[in-house]
């Protein structure tokens, strides 16, 4: 079952790469002031599309990370660290590859928020699996110590 989550997670990463790196944007640039890009987009349809899209794109990653790799990423700080690293990598690649997109710290903030939302939505499932793995590990340790 874990390998299915690993494959889904890789699929999500591949789709994110296509959306953010292969699909060219219309303008380029760098925005390193936190929340400036979010404020500039406003609360209208453009802001909803840009900001909501950044959040929505990382929800599946945040939902799958705690379930992938045998549950080794099953914590909110780990989901935040991995999603942050992925988002920073995407932003750097957009700049280096001149993908016609604005490289912005706000995108990293919104992407991480989306990943945390995904992790919260699947928390009951991966938390139960993590507890079950812990009980199974403790039982295996007891069995080995009784031999």
Tell me the pLDDT tens digit for each residue of 12-57: 888 888 887 776 666 778 888 899 888 888 888 888 888 999 999 9
Q: Which two tokens stand for residue 24?
A: 């060219």
Is residue 30 a contact partner of residue 99, using CB atoms and an 8 Å limit?
Answer: no
Q: Is the pLDDT of residue 132 over 70?
A: yes
**Which burial class, exposed, middle or buried, applies to 117 when counting CB atoms under 10 A from its CB (0-12, 13-18, 19+)?**
middle
Query: 71: which DSSP letter?
Result: G
Is residue 108 a contact partner of residue 33, using CB atoms and an 8 Å limit?
Answer: no
Q: Is the pTM of this model over 0.85?
A: no
Q: Which two tokens stand for residue 20?
A: 């953010």
């Amino acid at each position: 079952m874990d390998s299915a989550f690993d494959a889904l997670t890789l699929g999500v990463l591949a789709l994110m790469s296509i959306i953010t790196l292969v699909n060219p944007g219309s303008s380029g640039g760098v925005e390193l002031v936190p929340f400036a890009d979010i404020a500039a987009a406003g609360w209208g349809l453009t802001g909803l599309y840009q900001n909501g899209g950044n959040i929505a794109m990382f929800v599946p990653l945040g939902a799958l990370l705690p379930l992938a790799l045998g549950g080794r990423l099953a914590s909110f700080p780990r989901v935040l660290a991995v999603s942050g690293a992925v988002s920073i990598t995407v932003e750097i690649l957009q700049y280096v590859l001149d993908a016609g997109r604005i490289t912005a710290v706000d995108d990293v903030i919104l992407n991480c928020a989306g990943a945390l939302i995904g992790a919260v939505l699947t928390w009951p499932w991966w938390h139960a699996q993590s507890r079950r793995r812990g009980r199974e590990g403790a039982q295996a340790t007891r069995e080995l110590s009784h031999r």
